[in-house]
Structure 1
Amino acid sequence: MARPRAFDEAAVVESARDQFWSYGYAATSLDDLVNATGLSKGSIYNAFNDKHALYLRTFESYCHDVVAQVATHLDGPDETAVERLRSLFDGIASGNGPTTTPSGCFLTKATAELASLDHEVQTLARRTFAQLENLLFESVVAARRSGSIAATRDPRKTARHLLAILRGLDALATAGVEPDVLADAVTSLATSVLT
């Protein structure tokens, strides 16, 4: 009979995620993960198989959390849908959005580092982008129903436009671009897209 694990798996995944998030996959060694999680190398291998499998667990967890946070942020009545969309982008520009932290966006970092090299990371990133696009689409449809966005605006194309801007803002914020540059982009978005 297998012995029960003597550690909190969720806490270990979170600690490993913070390590990968800060330093990336390539620059994180197994010794770094031992120090971050408090587990031995053997325990890491027994619980997660290898560094790559643990990375995927951390990345999938992050992606799930980001989608859930954006869904919560965008949820509400049709009449305020456009304001919630604007505040989502304002939050990213100001560093207070659901995907922004002092370490930058893990989704942005992981995609830049590994998506072209690692099919599983690419698959998780693409699934997350599709989920975010659908959330934006639903908000655009709600804003159209309330008359806040022109009825002639194509909701799917608008959602894809917003997703591209969202990911661009995250990438710029992750790179440390000045907040006023991001704020200018959001102001342009509000006048050209969210009307």
Structure 2
Amino acid sequence: MGRPKTFDEDRVLEAAMRAFWAAGYEATSTDDLCEATGLGRSSIYNTFKSKHDLFEKTLLRYMTQRTAAAVELLESAMPVREKIRALLWQAADTETGDPTGCLVVNSMIELAPRDAEIATRLERDQDRRLTALRLAIEAGQRQQEIDPEKDPATLAHFVVATISGMRVLARGGADRSTLRAVASTALDAI
């Protein structure tokens, strides 16, 4: 009979998620994960089976947290332009202490082209965000906040692409004023 776990799995997943987010999947070694989580190799592999399994769990955690917050915002009662402004400003004003960029965007670039499981998870997450955005835009069109001649699906893709691009810019070192200028320009285009 194995020993019972003596660690908080949520804390471990959060620490591992931040390690993958900061360095990427390939560049995060098992030693990096041990250091980030405070666990030994055997505890990591006994609990999560593999680095890939741990990564999948952390990616799911990230998507669940971030997408749920975005969907909640998009389903709120505020005007749609304010909802989109809030999403764009979140991308421009990353939280202190968070790694730069976005674990989803990083994973799309690094893993999706060669990992079908990860690609499928990312596609489902993106579909959820796009649907929430499209529905919010359609509501904004009914309220005459957004030009009804514009295609809501195209606008939703534009917003997601802009936010993803802003995350890449941030990862590349763009400062907050540059990111805010991109957000303002995107908002003007909607």
- The answer to whether TM tops 0.5 is yes
Is contact 2:92–2:176 with CA below 8 Å preserved after alignment? yes
1:136 has 2:133 as partner: yes
Q: Cα–Cα, structure 1 residues 102 and 23, in superposed 2: closer, same or farther, change >3 Å?
A: closer
Alignment of 1:47-66 (within 5 A): 47-66=47-66
Gaps of 5+ in 1: none
Aligned length: 190
Alignment of 1:61-80 (within 5 A): 61-77=61-77, 80=79
RMSD over aligned Cα atoms: 2.2
Match in the other structure for 2:90 = 91
1:189 has 2:152 as partner: no
Instruction: Tell me by how many angstroms 1:2 deviates.
Output: 5.5
Match in the other structure for 1:166 = 163
Letter in 2 for 1:46: N
Alignment of 1:16-31 (within 5 A): 16-31=16-31
Instruction: Tell me by how many angstroms 1:3 deviates.
Output: 4.8
Instruction: Tell me by how many angstroms 1:111 deviates.
Output: 1.9
Q: Cα–Cα, structure 1 residues 54 and 83, in superposed 2: closer, same or farther, change >3 Å?
A: same
Q: Describe the superposition over 1:117-141 as per-residue Cα deviations: whole angstroms up to 9, x where unpaired.
A: 2222212221111111111112101
Q: Distance in 1 between matches of 2:180 and 2:55?
A: 33
Instruction: Tell me by how many angstroms 1:51 deviates.
Output: 0.8
Is contact 1:85–1:139 with CA below 8 Å preserved after alignment? no
Is 18-27 or 44-53 further displaced after alignment? 18-27
- Identity, in percent, stands at 33
Instruction: Tell me by how many angstroms 1:179 deviates.
Output: 2.9
Letter in 2 for 1:67: T
| Residue 102 of structure 2, aligned match among 80, 102, 105 | 105
Extract structure 1 runs of 4+ deviating beyond 4 A. none
Is 54-63 or 38-47 further displaced after alignment? 38-47
Is contact 2:74–2:132 with CA below 8 Å preserved after alignment? yes
Match in the other structure for 1:46 = 46
Q: Distance in 2 between matches of 1:25 and 1:166?
A: 21
Q: Describe the superposition over 1:56-107 as per-residue Cα deviations: whole angstroms up to 9, x where unpaired.
A: 1111111111101111222322x612211122112322335xxx94432111
Q: Describe the superposition over 1:7-55 as per-residue Cα deviations: whole angstroms up to 9, x where unpaired.
A: 2111111111111111221122212222222222122111111111111
Gaps of 5+ in 2: none
SS at match of 2:79: helix
Q: Distance in 1 between matches of 2:2 and 2:29?
A: 28
Instruction: Tell me by how many angstroms 1:4 deviates.
Output: 3.5
